């Protein structure tokens, strides 16, 4: 059941008495609410029905008024948010979120359902997102029209998507202890302390959110906030100017409504602002002066889906709440919230295979209600039900209790917006493509296993790779957990976040569809991309299925490869091209042009390799050794790709491999090549069956005339990942064993880390098998044991422990 399905039915338009003759003094009712509070929302609906306003003004960006009617559209379901972004820089953006239990959302739905005029009254997004001058806040702020605003209440959201928290300028450490500053930063805490509470959340829940009867707390809240504002004053600097402008704009909006002939005005705003908006308002001259000269910029607004997780305080949202799931429950189940909640908890625990009975639920309800009574609370709150959950349903297990927090207390409900809501063409195309491919945008991480032999999965894979080219990380590659070397399988992890709406807007500059935008993005990379970047882009293009981009990319790549004389760059560029060859099998992509570029790169690498390997330091040799391995594997892939095609291409692939091995053979006898690289080259030629004097080479590399560090480097290059060679070649094994045993104590200590790094690449089974062969031939492990006196008393404790572990085998 969606959240919108359980909203209270919109009240019918109230009957109004005929207006008496003569001018009527306007009535302005200000309802100071807490953002995202279900108790506030319930009390607000009751108050609106009783007051029967002819206009409802809600705290929010006033330039969003043309979009408000979409809140009543059939396809819109909270949580949703108003998104505003700068037309010239979509990264500068702001969100105004609404949940089903948000008072602002309920006021908006009530007005739309009752046919009452409704609009926003806060600063327009054009001012919220406008760049501020560096010296703007250095001057003294204008004189306030009222008592002065307090700290930011979090209704507006700062550029970047997160609401700013309270900002209090502190000149020195002692000033931080000023209770007026502290109360201004958190006015709810000041009121809670005055009421004898140590937790402002619990005070607000008891006073406002626990009102299941819909009775009105607004007059008392306005009075309390007015007193608090008089006590704490107003913030300084930019906070003062921002708050002055916000409240001045709200008052000007109220005056405009009255000037239009509205006589019953309802204002829904954060409780902190309520005293500054009560009727009668001060003269408009001061407010006009505050608003004069405010910077603006061109912005675009729309509705976007939101999630409960991003309503939570933990997400960084300044007006966030700790428990969106609990608040939604209070809104949808006001008749028996504790019983229904603990029933949901039991279902959640059972889904995780934890045993919870009906008796557990009954005992948990009793415990929660008892705790509430002992604490003099009108209703068991989240703290009580969580304690009951942990003690009774989870048997004190914090891990099980955390499951409840993730599943229910916060929750991951994702809202929806009506298809008629204006959106950028790129997002519209993505929504249509996801609908066609049956890919859902979900807030919880979901793993997608794709079989590229199926057309629908192949189309999904292309969509995901196109989004990655555009920098939209909704779907990212994941580990399938299955050891598969096939090219027909892909695993992805998908998690939708509201901030991705901004990423879509930013990517919309490249095109109106996902395919055209990804193609344009590739064309843009062609201008300044290096050879390595271009080859990696080729791989992405093949995966994304962008044939138009590929053709131009092949041309630029061939030109860039012809001009780049750096062998290291060529070696880095080849592996992505070789990997891309295999995508022609499952994806049926023509890679003929790609094969030609790859062959040119191999030929140029072979020609330049002898000059690139001479006189290298340790770091350069290690880097080049890795590139040699990668190029060898790439040449093997090219040969495999050629073997699956026509005979001429088969000969070409075989020729590439011969050229590569020939290039390696030209450096195998050189003395100016680093031992690490030289050992690797010898090993590659041995594996290719191109050398028949391997024992002599190993003996020469480990002879007494060679530096110990050079020996260790040669051993690492030759034997790394080479356990099978040692296991099956007794002569090599004896040579290596003889070298290790011939090291003196100083050499052995110096070389031990290097040798351990080499043999650390062997698996435990390979090391055990190697040790067994050394023992079998009578090596050091099999030599006569040195007589050692065994201290049985000292060994007794260890033997008893082993016996206990083995279950008394002794």
255 lies in the same domain as 301:
yes
Which whole number is the average pLDDT over 301-318?
72
Domain boundary among 447, 479, 510: 510
45 inside domain: yes
Which whole number is the average pLDDT over 22-46?
84
What is the pLDDT confidence band of residue 62, given thresholds at 50, 70 and 90? very high
pLDDT at 113: 93
pLDDT at 182: 38
Q: Which residue has the higher pLDDT, 649 or 47?
A: 47
306 lies in the same domain as 429:
no
Is the model's pLDDT at 518 over the cut of 80?
Answer: yes
What would the pLDDT profile of 733-792 be if each residue is shown by its tens digit? 777 777 777 777 777 777 777 677 777 777 777 778 777 777 766 544 444 444 446 677
678 inside domain: no
pLDDT at 787: 46
341 lies in the same domain as 399:
yes
Would you call 619 helix, strand, or coil by DSSP?
A: helix
642 inside domain: no
199 inside domain: yes
What would the pLDDT profile of 386-400 be if each residue is shown by its tens digit? 889 889 888 888 888
C-beta neighbour count of 519 within 10 angstroms: 23
What is the pLDDT confidence band of residue 20, given thresholds at 50, 70 and 90? very low
| H or E element that contains 455 | helix 455-469
360 lies in the same domain as 504:
no
Residue 236: domain span: 26-131+150-168+177-315
Please state the domain count of the chain: 3
Of the candidate ranges 172-181, 435-444, 507-516, the one whose mean pLDDT is the lowest: 172-181
What would the pLDDT profile of 688-708 be if each residue is shown by its tens digit? 878 777 777 777 777 766 777
Of the candidate ranges 453-467, 514-528, 704-718, the one whose mean pLDDT is the lowest: 704-718
356 lies in the same domain as 293:
no
Question: Which pair of tokens denotes residue 647?
Answer: 């005979």
Select the highest-mean-pLDDT range: 5-14, 130-139, 261-270, 789-798. Answer: 261-270
Would you call 155 helix, strand, or coil by DSSP?
A: coil
Which whole number is the average pLDDT over 140-165?
35
Diameter of the chain measured on Cα atoms:
121
- Cα–Cα distance, 654 to 658 (Å, whole number): 6
71 lies in the same domain as 160:
yes
Of the candidate ranges 106-120, 121-135, 356-370, the one whose mean pLDDT is the lowest: 121-135
Is the model's pLDDT at 211 over the cut of 70?
Answer: no
324 inside domain: no
344 lies in the same domain as 207:
no
Is the model's pLDDT at 173 over the cut of 90?
Answer: no
359 lies in the same domain as 472:
no
Is the model's pLDDT at 139 over the cut of 70?
Answer: no
Which whole number is the average pLDDT over 11-37?
67
Please say whether the beta carbons of 70 and 303 come within 8 A.
yes
Is the model's pLDDT at 632 over the cut of 50?
Answer: yes
What would the pLDDT profile of 528-547 be if each residue is shown by its tens digit? 677 777 878 887 888 888 88
Q: What is the DSSP-derived secondary structure letter of residue 394?
A: S
Question: Which pair of tokens denotes residue 582?
Answer: 């295999």
| H or E element that contains 269 | strand 264-270
267 lies in the same domain as 400:
no
Indicate the average pLDDT of the chain.
77
User: Whole-angstrom distance between the N-terminal and C-terminal Cα of the chain?
Assistant: 63
358 inside domain: yes
pLDDT at 306: 86
223 inside domain: yes
What would the pLDDT profile of 593-609 be if each residue is shown by its tens digit? 667 777 778 888 888 88
Domain boundary among 476, 493, 510: 510
Q: Which residue has the higher pLDDT, 673 or 209?
A: 673
772 inside domain: no
Domain boundary among 484, 510, 536: 510
- Cα–Cα distance, 137 to 773 (Å, whole number): 79
- Cα–Cα distance, 359 to 654 (Å, whole number): 74
Give which of 690, 777, 688 is closest to 732, Cα–Cα. Answer: 777
Residue 30 half-sphere exposure toward CB, CA atoms < 13 A: 27
Q: Which residue has the higher pLDDT, 396 or 724?
A: 396
- List, in sequence order, the alpha helices (H) in 101-237: 103-114, 125-128, 179-185, 187-194, 200-204, 218-232
Instruction: Tell me the C-alpha to C-alpha distance, in Å, between residue 439 and each of 254, 411, 454.
Output: 46, 21, 15
311 lies in the same domain as 402:
no
Which whole number is the average pLDDT over 282-309?
89
108 lies in the same domain as 250:
yes
Which whole number is the average pLDDT over 671-676?
84
Q: Which residue has the higher pLDDT, 481 or 80?
A: 80
Of the candidate ranges 76-90, 199-213, 641-655, 679-693, the one whose mean pLDDT is the lowest: 641-655
246 lies in the same domain as 356:
no
């Amino acid at each position: 059941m969606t959240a919108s399905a359980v909203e209270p039915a919109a009240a019918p338009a109230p009957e109004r008495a005929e207006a008496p003759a003569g001018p009527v003094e306007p009535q302005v009712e200000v309802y100071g609410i807490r953002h995202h509070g279900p108790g506030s929302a319930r009390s607000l609906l009751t108050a609106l029905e009783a007051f029967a306003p002819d206009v409802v003004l809600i705290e929010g960006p006033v330039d969003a008024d043309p979009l408000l009617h979409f809140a009543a559209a059939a396809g819109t379901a909270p949580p949703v948010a108003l998104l505003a972004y700068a037309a010239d820089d979509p990264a500068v953006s702001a969100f105004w979120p609404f949940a089903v239990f948000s008072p602002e959302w309920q006021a908006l739905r009530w007005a739309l359902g009752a046919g009452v005029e409704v609009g926003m009254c806060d600063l327009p997004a054009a001012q919220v997102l406008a760049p501020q001058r560096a010296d703007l806040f250095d001057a003294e702020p204008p004189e306030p029209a009222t008592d002065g605003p307090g700290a930011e209440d979090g209704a507006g959201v700062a550029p970047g998507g997160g609401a700013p928290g309270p900002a209090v300028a502190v000149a020195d450490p002692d000033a931080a202890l000023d209770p007026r500053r502290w109360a201004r930063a958190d006015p709810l805490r000041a009121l809670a302390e005055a009421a004898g509470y140590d937790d402002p959340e619990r005070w607000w829940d008891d006073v406002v959110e626990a009102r299941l009867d819909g009775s009105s707390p607004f007059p008392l809240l306005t009075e309390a906030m007015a007193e608090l504002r008089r006590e704490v004053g107003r913030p300084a600097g930019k906070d003062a100017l921002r708050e002055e402008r916000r409240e001045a704009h709200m008052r000007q909006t109220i005056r405009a409504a009255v000037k239009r002939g509205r006589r019953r005005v309802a204002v829904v705003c954060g409780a902190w602002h309520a005293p500054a908006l009560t009727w009668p308002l001060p003269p408009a001259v001061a407010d006009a002066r505050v608003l004069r000269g405010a910077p603006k910029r061109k912005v675009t607004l729309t509705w976007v889906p939101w999630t409960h997780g991003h309503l939570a305080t933990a997400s960084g949202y300044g007006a966030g709440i700790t428990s969106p799931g609990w608040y939604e429950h209070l809104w949808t189940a006001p008749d028996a919230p504790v019983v229904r909640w603990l029933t949901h908890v039991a279902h959640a625990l059972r889904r995780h295979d934890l045993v919870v009975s009906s008796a557990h639920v009954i005992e948990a309800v009793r415990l929660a209600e008892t705790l509430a009574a002992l604490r003099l609370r009108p209703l068991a709150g989240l703290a009580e039900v969580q304690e009951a959950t942990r003690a009774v349903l989870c048997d004190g297990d914090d891990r099980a209790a955390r499951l409840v927090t993730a599943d229910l207390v916060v929750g991951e409900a994702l809202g929806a917006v009506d298809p008629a809501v204006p959106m950028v063409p790129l997002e519209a195309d993505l929504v249509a493509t996801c609908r066609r491919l049956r890919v859902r945008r979900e807030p919880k991480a979901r793993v997608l296993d794709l079989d590229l032999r199926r057309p629908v999965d192949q189309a999904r894979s292309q969509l995901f790779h196109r989004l990655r080219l555009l920098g939209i990380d909704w779907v990212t590659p994941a580990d399938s957990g299955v050891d598969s070397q096939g090219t027909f399988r892909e695993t992805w992890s998908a998690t939708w976040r509201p901030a991705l709406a901004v990423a879509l807007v930013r990517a919309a500059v490249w095109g109106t569809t996902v395919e055209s935008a990804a193609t344009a993005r590739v064309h843009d990379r062609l201008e300044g991309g290096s050879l390595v970047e271009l080859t990696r882009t080729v791989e992405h293009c093949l995966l994304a299925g962008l044939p138009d981009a590929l053709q131009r990319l092949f041309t630029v790549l061939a030109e860039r490869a012809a001009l780049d004389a750096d062998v290291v760059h060529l070696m880095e560029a080849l592996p992505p091209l070789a990997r891309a060859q295999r995508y022609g099998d499952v994806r049926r992509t023509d890679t003929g042009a790609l094969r030609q570029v790859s062959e040119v790169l191999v030929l140029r690498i072979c020609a330049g390799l002898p000059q690139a390997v001479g006189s290298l330091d340790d770091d350069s040799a290690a880097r080049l050794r890795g590139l040699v391995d990668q190029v060898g594997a790439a040449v093997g892939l090219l040969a495999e790709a050629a073997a699956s095609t026509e005979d001429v291409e088969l000969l070409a692939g075989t020729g590439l491999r011969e050229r590569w091995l020939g290039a390696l053979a030209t450096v195998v006898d050189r003395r100016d090549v680093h031992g690490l690289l030289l050992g690797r080259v010898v090993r590659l030629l041995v594996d290719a069956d191109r050398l028949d004097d391997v024992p002599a080479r190993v003996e020469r590399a480990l002879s007494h005339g060679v530096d110990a560090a050079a020996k260790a480097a040669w051993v690492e290059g030759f034997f790394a990942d080479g356990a099978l060679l040692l296991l099956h070649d007794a002569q090599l094994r004896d040579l290596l064993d003889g070298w290790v045993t011939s090291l003196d104590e100083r050499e052995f200590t110096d070389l031990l880390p290097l040798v351990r790094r080499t043999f650390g690449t062997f698996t435990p089974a390979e090391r055990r098998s190697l040790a067994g062969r050394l023992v079998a031939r009578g090596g050091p492990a099999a030599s006569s044991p040195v007589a050692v006196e065994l201290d049985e008393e000292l060994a007794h404790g260890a033997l008893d422990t082993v016996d206990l572990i083995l279950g008394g085998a002794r």
